């Protein structure tokens, strides 16, 4: 505050305008997020699910507008189809970023639905461990060590991925249906060739 008293009039005006612009842009971003996506304010330890182009990215809210997340290369808002290249990555970096920087213009929600299955750890433990892991390069595999596994491991002490579970279920159903169709086609064509032999 005392520094402003020693500034020239022009410097004071520049300083005030600069501070107003910074405040306005932050208020605008916060308001935009609140109007569009910020239905419920996250609490420290909450899991944040972000809906990307063709998958969900997961993060842990640690308070004061920040999240910790496991980010493979090319993961981020606006990456679109390029983010699918993270499937072939074998490592990822644990990062701490502002929630809005990670979300971008994508939809997001607080998703602690596994609380019904597992006891969440105390928020201070989740936050402490999340912060301690920032900067670590970790093994990454879309099937058993992805960003959702990382986030749920922090909250529950158990790595889980519902999107992998759903994908496996869909693949199993598709496989069963596929085998069923093959058997049906075989029965139809096999049966018709037997009928032809019998009529001859």
Find how far residue 175's CA is from the centre of its chain.
28
42 domain residue, yes or no: no
Residue from 13, 14, 69, 149 carrying the catalytic annotation:
69
Residue 11's pLDDT is what? 42
- Considering the domain architecture, whether residues 25 and 108 belong to the same structural domain is answered as no
Low-confidence ranges of the chain (pLDDT < 70): 1-39, 78-87, 163-200
Residue 193's pLDDT is what? 52
Q: Is 13 a catalytic residue?
A: no
- Considering the domain architecture, whether residues 59 and 141 belong to the same structural domain is answered as yes
pLDDT, averaged across the chain: 73
Residue 142's pLDDT is what? 85
Q: For residue 187, what is the enclosing H or E element? A: helix 162-199
32 domain residue, yes or no: yes
Residue from 13, 57, 141, 149 carrying the catalytic annotation:
57
- Considering the domain architecture, whether residues 137 and 200 belong to the same structural domain is answered as no
Count of CA atoms in the C-beta half-sphere (13 A) of 131: 11
Question: How far apart are the C-alpha atoms of 183 and 160, rounded to whole Å?
Answer: 35
- Considering the domain architecture, whether residues 51 and 148 belong to the same structural domain is answered as yes
- Considering the domain architecture, whether residues 127 and 56 belong to the same structural domain is answered as yes
Q: Is 147 a catalytic residue?
A: yes
List, edge to edge, every strand of the sheet that includes 47-51: 107-110, 47-51, 56-63, 66-71, 91-98, 137-139
Structural domain span for residue 175 = 161-200
114 domain residue, yes or no: yes
Question: How far apart are the C-alpha atoms of 48 and 9, rounded to whole Å?
Answer: 46
Q: Give the model confidence (pLDDT) of 108-161 as tens digits.
A: 999 999 999 999 999 999 999 999 999 999 999 888 799 999 999 999 999 998
Residue from 13, 141, 147, 149 carrying the catalytic annotation:
147
- Considering the domain architecture, whether residues 149 and 68 belong to the same structural domain is answered as yes
Residue 74's pLDDT is what? 77
Q: What is the DSSP letter of 143?
A: T
Residue 7's pLDDT is what? 39
Domain count, the chain: 3
């Amino acid at each position: 505050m005392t520094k402003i008293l020693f500034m020239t009039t022009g410097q004071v005006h520049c300083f005030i305008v600069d501070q107003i612009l910074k405040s306005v842009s932050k208020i605008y971003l916060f308001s935009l997020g609140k109007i569009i996506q910020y239905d419920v304010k996250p609490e420290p330890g909450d899991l944040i699910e972000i809906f990307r182009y063709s998958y969900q990215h997961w993060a842990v809210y640690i308070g004061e507008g920040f999240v910790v997340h496991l980010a493979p290369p090319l993961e981020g808002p606006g990456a679109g189809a390029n983010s699918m290249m993270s499937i072939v990555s074998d490592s990822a970096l644990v990062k701490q970023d502002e929630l809005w920087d990670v979300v971008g213009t994508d939809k997001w929600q607080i998703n602690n639905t596994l609380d019904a299955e597992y006891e969440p750890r105390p928020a201070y433990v989740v936050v402490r461990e999340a912060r301690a892991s920032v900067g670590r390069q970790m093994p990454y595999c879309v099937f058993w060590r992805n960003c959702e596994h990382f986030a749920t491991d922090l909250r529950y002490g158990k790595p889980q991925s519902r999107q992998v579970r759903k994908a496996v279920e869909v693949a199993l159903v598709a496989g069963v249906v596929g085998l069923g169709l093959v058997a049906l086609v075989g029965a139809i064509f096999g049966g018709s060739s037997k009928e032809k032999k019998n009529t001859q």
